[in-house]
Amino acid sequence: MPWFFVLLWSTGFIVAKFGLPFAPPLTFLLLRFAGVLLVLIPLVLLFRAPWPVGRIRHVAVAGVLVQAGYLAGVWCAIKLGMPAGLSALIVGMQPILTAFAAPLIGESVRGKQWFGLALGLCGVGLVVANKISLIGLSTGSILLCLMALVSITIGTLYQKRYCAHFDLRTGTIIQFAASALVVMPFAIAFEDFSPALTTVQWTPSFIGALLWSVLALSIGAIFLLFALIRRSAATSVTSLLYLTPPTTALMAWIAFGEQFSWIGMAGMLLAVAGVFFVVKK
């Protein structure tokens, strides 16, 4: 399950490459959130899935942090000119931040795990080193990427502490509905979002990216992430995100012919070794 999660999660940047040229980032996210609701609400009604009574507020808060805060931050930063490599490196700090905050949810980080976290971060740095460029970099894009980093870190810890266990179908509906309510005012204010969707170009690439975002990322990968949060320590779960930049770089090399050097390959091996030290009992 962890490796399948990494594969799915890593396609997020690939989807951005296909989808962002044809729709503003927040508008794309609103369509993505709406797609998740359209898929899951009939399933919940059909199978009478239980709602997390008494924890709905906690589930919603975690969802806004993990979905709205993280995705909106990264996608808007890339739209403003943040290079994908640099955004991956900034967001790649999440396992380190999670480890520092782990005592807040009653978890401890062993010395071997700290070594693995440092090793993994070095590996991510090597993978994205040749993709980092300061061209087009702005203060706004940096702040948005930092917001995404802090948001997903706090969201993961919050969910682990307050609502780790809930039905994935109803819980996901709550999280994406809450995220849509938070994102919509910003989309209206900054992207002229309207029900007519005049800012969207319905090309085959965009439709494919949207469908993949809904089914593979927002349902498949998120279900796996929630399952991992249930059964594993937060530090161990977030350490898997070290494998995202190397896997994404490999996918981009296969799909788009992007450069993947020997240094990147060495970084990928370092990242894998780092995760091994973190998750090994």
**76 falls in which pLDDT band (50, 70, 90)?**
very high
**What is the reported pTM?**
0.87
In percent, how much of the chain has pLDDT > 90?
43
Residue with the bigger pLDDT between 54 and 88: it is 54
Which amino acid is present at 11? T
Distance CA 159, CA 83 (A): 30
Task: Please choose, from the candidates 101, 108, 88, the residue with its C-alpha nearest in 3D space to the C-alpha of residue 149.
Answer: 88
Give the H/E segment covering residue 269. helix 262-279
Instruction: Give the pLDDT band (50/70/90) at residue 37.
Output: very high
Q: Is the pLDDT score of 42 beyond 90?
A: yes
Which residue shows structure tokens 């460029």?
Answer: 133
Rounded to whole angstroms, the Cα distance separating 274 from 91 reads: 17
How high is the pLDDT of residue 85?
A: 67
Residue 227 has pLDDT above 80, yes or no: yes
Q: Side chain identity at 116, as an amino acid letter?
A: G
The whole-angstrom separation of Cα 203 and Cα 215 is: 18
Of 54-63, 131-140, 211-220, the least confident: 131-140
Closest CA to 49 of 140, 210, 167: 167
